[in-house]
Amino acid sequence: MLEIKNLKVSYNELNILKGIDLSLNKGESLAVIGETGAGKTTLSLSIMGLIEGHCTGEILFQGENLLSLPEDELRLLRGRRIAMVFQDVEAALHPLYTIRQQIIEAILVHGEKDRDFAAEHTRQLLARVGLDERRGDSYPHQLSGGEKQKALICIALANDPDVLILDEPTAALDALTKAEIINLLRKEAKERITLVITHDIDAAAKLAERIAVMYAGRILEMGPTEELLEQPMHPYTRGLLRSYPNMTTTKDLQGIPGRMSHRVEGCPFHTRCTQKIAVCGHDVPELQKKNSRYLACHRGGIIPLLEVKNISSNIDKVEILHSVDINLYEGETLALVGESGSGKTTLAKTIMGLFTAKQGEIFLEEKPVIQRKKEFFERVQMVFQNPGESISHRMIVYQAVKEPLDIHGSRASESEKQEKVKKVLDEVELTGDDEYLKKYPHHLSGGEAQRVAIARALVLDPKLIIADEPTSALDASIQAKILRLFLDLQEERGLALLLITHDIALARKVSDRMAVMLQGTIVEEGPTSEIVNNPLHPYTKCLIEVAPTMSREISEPLETNSREEDHETETDFQKGSSDSQQNCPFIRRCPHPLPRCFQDKPELKTCSVHRVACFRRYQE
């Protein structure tokens, strides 16, 4: 067993590790991930007894504290019971000795007297890692990067260690070589304690059963690998995943604003966090158990910014929304997609208080929204499809952008307001010179008018923007710029964005999660990549099939199911009402309805990692 208790490491009074606690049993694997400078390699070198800084706490191996062992005893353990594959292969391999000589030396130095046995064991090790025996007589400079990595693995495995530490084992390798090394390490990690140090999230996922996320010398989140990667709880973990490219990524990559610092009071991540509160700036959150996870966050992880619960709404006695539930989290984009008339804009205007809900509740930052007072609109703003809905044609640009400050009683002076207006115009990539500020809306292009509308929404520094088809009337080039603008603002400000669109291809590029709406009901909801790559509801599949592909092939629209012979199981009740509140709203266009679909309305239930309202999926 390897157990680390309150490990602290400092160099020249700079604290690098600040109280690390970890525990690993035989056969377990843990990956420590994080940005460069987080302290990952310092952790591995501390276990190996190779640290130069001041080290306190306990590192217990088989009940013995390694930090209290004299150097000669540590030397016996190092390489025999605890071995490490170092990140820098050039520094780890001796340039004047062949690979075979270096492996044999690693065996002999730990007490083996029989050189013939060492030579035979070396031959077997080379074969085990898939390295041609002839390459054993090569010098390091004669090997490729992957071959050098295999040589290091041979040296680490030479004495069959109980603990194997892998420091960036796949760094700088091409994809095929990386896959080969990962397969090799997975085999060799069985029956050992394995600690993986890496910034490569894919390597961590493939090599470890658990992941610990390290930031500025502290562990912020730890838990089972699949669970942590699918549903990160800490804002920093989510930021890392957003920054990592992979084949299932749909949203454009986003970095984490700001830089890591080891000299921050309070939560080490608070200077870069989009959901920080006052306590984050002066108190360090403890790493606490939360179900199957460990989490260090004063707010209990990523919190819902907006919660819509069981909302129904009527217009002229016609029910437009029926029991709608959505959540939008701090700093994320939720795309609400569906065809025209599905209720998307009605939901947006109900959230904003422009329509009254017949039933249900809305929560903002975990507090119920009873009345839309100025505090609400300072946190939530809306960008309409038509800029004219929010910008008066009688106002010049300066007045239009400044007006929310006046309405909300800003105590800033006129000159301060002018600076604020110029600042937000600059953020939306518009000039703030006097000539431009005096322009009227009809002097602006469509893209400029929409940017002014966005600037008007931003001037109060909201946490949430509801964007209703913000690019539908714009050409493709301007549309791309507006969407890129939203992503940049989200990255810089930590904005949450509820994007309403009928274009699922557009939603795919900018959203973290997607909710598919049909006839006032959410029929599918989940991570965008999952919904696009593995749609569960037939309506979602239909939207994807007719999305733009720049191909000459035309997707055939789904026909209405009107003939009895279309369905072998059709009975009398199937000829009844098509009222979407009494049965499935997609029933008349579904290619494979079940008898129950004509009787009951499916509820939104969890299937896989997203939710779907479909009886056929429930059976599967």
In this structure, what CATH number is given to the domain that contains residue 271? Answer: 3.40.50.300
pLDDT reading at 610 higher than 90: no
- Which carries the bigger pLDDT value, residue 251 or residue 533? 533
> Over the stretch 473-511, which tens digit does the pLDDT of each residue have?
778 888 888 888 888 888 888 899 999 999 898 999 899
pLDDT reading at 218 higher than 60: yes
> Over the stretch 186-207, which tens digit does the pLDDT of each residue have?
998 888 999 999 999 999 999 9
212 and 320 together in one domain? no
pLDDT tier, 418 (very low <50, low <70, confident <90, very high otherwise): very high
Domain boundary among 462, 494, 519: 519
347 and 367 together in one domain? yes
Specify if 152 maps to a domain: no
What is the chain's alpha carbon radius of gyration, rounded to the nearest angstrom?
30
Torsion (CA) 349, 354, 360, 365 in degrees, nearest 10: 70
User: Which pLDDT score is estimated for 581?
Assistant: 60
Specify if 183 maps to a domain: no
Specify if 112 maps to a domain: no
515 and 532 together in one domain? no
Helix (H) or strand (E) holding 339: none
pLDDT tier, 563 (very low <50, low <70, confident <90, very high otherwise): very low
User: Which pLDDT score is estimated for 572?
Assistant: 36
Q: What is the largest CA-CA distance in the chain?
A: 94
- Backbone φ, ψ for residue 222 (5° rounding): -150, 140
Specify if 262 maps to a domain: yes
pLDDT reading at 398 higher than 60: yes
User: Which pLDDT score is estimated for 550?
Assistant: 66
362 and 463 together in one domain? yes
β-strand partners of 32:
197, 212
Q: What number is the average pLDDT over the span 588-608?
A: 87
Specify if 511 maps to a domain: yes
Q: What number is the average pLDDT over the span 28-56?
A: 94
232 and 374 together in one domain? no
Picking from 257-271, 290-304, 536-550, which range would have the lowest pLDDT averaged per residue?
Answer: 536-550
User: Which pLDDT score is estimated for 446?
Assistant: 86
Specify if 97 maps to a domain: no
pLDDT tier, 575 (very low <50, low <70, confident <90, very high otherwise): very low
User: Which pLDDT score is estimated for 578?
Assistant: 44
> Over the stretch 126-168, which tens digit does the pLDDT of each residue have?
999 999 989 999 999 999 999 999 999 999 999 999 999 999 9
Specify if 184 maps to a domain: no
pLDDT tier, 571 (very low <50, low <70, confident <90, very high otherwise): very low
Distance between CA atoms of residues 292 and 303, nearest Å: 18
462 and 337 together in one domain? yes
417 and 515 together in one domain? yes
477 and 411 together in one domain? yes
User: Which pLDDT score is estimated for 285?
Assistant: 97
Domain boundary among 295, 313, 331: 295
Q: How many domains does the chain have?
A: 3
DSSP-derived secondary structure letter, 271:
G
287 and 322 together in one domain? no
314 and 216 together in one domain? no
* pTM reported for the whole predicted model: 0.86
505 and 564 together in one domain? no
User: Which pLDDT score is estimated for 561?
Assistant: 53
User: Which pLDDT score is estimated for 368?
Assistant: 94
Specify if 396 maps to a domain: yes
Beta strand extents in 482-607 (DSSP E only):
496-501, 513-518, 521-527, 605-607
387 and 432 together in one domain? yes
Percent of the chain with pLDDT over 90: 64
Distance between CA atoms of residues 92 and 143, nearest Å: 14
User: Which pLDDT score is estimated for 564?
Assistant: 38
Q: What number is the average pLDDT over the span 552-562?
A: 60
Distance between CA atoms of residues 29 and 533, nearest Å: 30
Q: Do residues 497 and 334 lie in contact, with contact meaning Cβ atoms separated by under 8 Å?
A: yes
Domain that holds residue 271: 2-81+163-171+192-295
Domain boundary among 519, 539, 564: 519
pLDDT reading at 584 higher than 60: yes
